[in-house]
Each structure stands twice: as C-alpha cells, then as structure tokens.
C-alpha cells in the first residue's frame, strides 16, 4: 500500500482519476480475482482425482515414499513430489480458473494474421481451446498427469513462459497471484491426500460440468466421503 500511494501521488498513473480511486480499484480487482479461484481449482483437482482413482493412489504413494507416515507434509517436501506437480499442471490445463483469462485491450492499431485490429479492441484468450489443442496434446481431453513426466512436456511451465499452457496468462498482465496460487494448490492438495482416504458417494462418477461465468466454477457441489489414513499421535 505504501508503494501504491507513493507511486500514484508522485506520478499520477491515470490523468482522469485521483490516487484514492486508482488504489481502491486496484485493490478491489485483486480481491475479486483471488477470492474464489484457489478454492475453485482445488474443487476441480479433487473431482478429477475421484474420477481417476489410479492417479489418486499414485499421488498418495509418492507422499508415503518421500514424506513417510510419521509426520505431516510441509512446504520443503514439495520439491520432491514430482508426480503431485504433474497432477497440478494437468488440472490447470483441463480446468483453468478462467477459461477465457483476463480481458486485454489493444493500446495501438495492430495487424494479426493479416487482419487489422484497431486500438481499443478487447481481446480474450480461449484457454480452453489452447489447452486442448490436439496438435500439441495427445488425448487432449483426457486427464493424464503422466504427460508432464515425458520429455515432450516435462519442462513445460505454467507461469507464462510456455504459451501452450498459460492458466495464469502471460506477460505483464499475467495473474499477480500465480506464486501464491501454486503454493496453496500444492500444499493443500498434498495435505488432503496424505491425511484422508477419499471417495464419491456410492462410488459414482463426479459430474464435471462447468458453470457459466468468468470464473470456471463447478456447476454442481462436490460431495466427498473422507476417512483418516493414519492415526496421528
């Protein structure tokens, strides 16, 4: 807040608005953009794992191998949980928090693929189509975390450097909460998988219908049956 106040008062970022309005709008945008996206992604992650029990079992086996059964997983363990990282990447590929990302506006006239795009045009990136492009991804609609353990996609990142996978966007307008989101997704998911056995009611498949809106929420509530995996002291 100190930096924002200093910058806006010293330089005046937008001539038509005062410093208080700019700071308020910026804070509201950050809060609105982060209030539900992490919980949305965790819901999709659990839904996909419940529909793919072999993947769920492999992730738990990795935790048992690298963390053990005598203590809780912590952030320092995440670097060794390679399969869990692949699971998170695959969840972000199939169900990014926003299928169309954040809107952009052209700051000058451009030519793209021979088309004239005038200044002020709004641009939305269709991440759903990009992340399921059959020219890049084999079996693009299938949940296969193992794809991120192969040479073709092992080094693919989700932070905006690899344009075939940009769940957080790319460039200067990419999500400012990317690092926090990834940290939360990994540690919360790891903690849940380590501590609980999970299943859907009656073993029924989880409905994967998405809701309509800028945020890609699940259309129906996720119901999960849980039981402890260990008897912690």
Of 194, 202, 186, 198, which is closest to residue 227 (Cα–Cα)?
198
The model carries a pTM of 0.84
Whether residue 155 lies inside any domain: the answer is yes
> What phi, psi does 66 have (nearest 5°)?
-95, -20
Enclosing domain of residue 18: 1-35
pLDDT at 232: 66
Same domain, 110 and 135: yes
Same domain, 1 and 54: no
Same domain, 19 and 86: no
Q: Are 211 and 93 in contact (CB under 8 A)?
A: no
Same domain, 106 and 149: yes
CATH of the domain at 123: 1.10.630.10
Same domain, 69 and 161: yes
Whether residue 72 lies inside any domain: the answer is yes
pLDDT at 33: 67
Whether residue 30 lies inside any domain: the answer is yes
pLDDT in tens, the chain (233 residues): 888 888 777 765 656 777 788 888 888 877 776 667 888 899 999 999 999 999 999 999 999 999 988 889 999 999 999 999 999 999 999 998 888 877 788 889 988 888 899 999 988 888 889 999 999 999 999 999 999 999 888 888 888 788 888 888 888 778 877 888 888 899 999 999 999 999 999 989 999 998 877 778 889 999 999 999 887 66
Q: Are strands 104-105 and 122-123 parallel, antiparallel or unpaired?
A: antiparallel
Same domain, 114 and 191: yes
Same domain, 45 and 159: yes
The residue whose two tokens read 């849980």 is 226
pLDDT at 105: 86
Q: Are 214 and 208 in contact (CB under 8 A)?
A: no
pLDDT at 47: 95
Q: What size, in residues, is the chain?
A: 233
Same domain, 130 and 209: yes
Same domain, 10 and 94: no
Whether residue 150 lies inside any domain: the answer is yes
Whether residue 233 lies inside any domain: the answer is no
> Read out DSSP for 130-165?
HHT-TTTSSSTTS--GGGGGSTTTTT--SSSSSTT-
Same domain, 93 and 184: yes
Same domain, 148 and 56: yes
Measured CA to CA, the distance from residue 229 to residue 225 in angstroms comes to 13
Total structural domains in the chain?
2
Same domain, 90 and 179: yes
Of 137, 118, 185, which is closest to residue 177 (Cα–Cα)?
185
Residues 6 or more apart whose CB falls under 8 angstroms from that of 138 comprise 147
Whether residue 106 lies inside any domain: the answer is yes
């Amino acid at each position: 807040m100190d930096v924002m106040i200093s910058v806006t008062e010293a330089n005046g970022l937008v001539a038509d608005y005062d410093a208080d309005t700019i700071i308020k709008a910026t804070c509201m945008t950050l809060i609105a953009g982060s209030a539900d996206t992490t919980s949305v992604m965790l819901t999709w992650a659990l839904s996909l794992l419940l529909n793919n029990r072999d993947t769920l079992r492999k992730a738990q086996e990795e935790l048992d191998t690298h963390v053990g059964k005598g203590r809780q997983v912590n952030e320092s363990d995440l670097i060794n949980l390679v399969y869990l990282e692949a699971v998170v990447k695959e969840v972000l590929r199939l169900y990014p928090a926003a299928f169309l990302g954040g809107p952009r506006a052209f700051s000058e006239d451009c030519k793209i693929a021979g088309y004239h795009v005038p200044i002020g045009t709004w641009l939305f990136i269709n991440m759903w189509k990009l992340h399921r492009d059959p020219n890049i991804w084999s079996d693009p609609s299938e949940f296969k975390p193992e794809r991120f353990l192969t040479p073709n996609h092992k080094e693919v990142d989700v932070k905006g450097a690899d344009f075939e996978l940009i769940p957080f966007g790319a460039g200067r307008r990419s999500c400012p909460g990317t690092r926090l989101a990834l940290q939360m997704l990994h540690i919360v998911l790891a903690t849940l998988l380590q501590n609980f056995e999970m299943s859907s009611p009656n073993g029924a498949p989880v409905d994967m219908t998405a809701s309509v809106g800028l945020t890609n929420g699940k259309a129906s509530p996720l119901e999960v049956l849980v039981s402890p995996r260990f008897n912690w002291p």
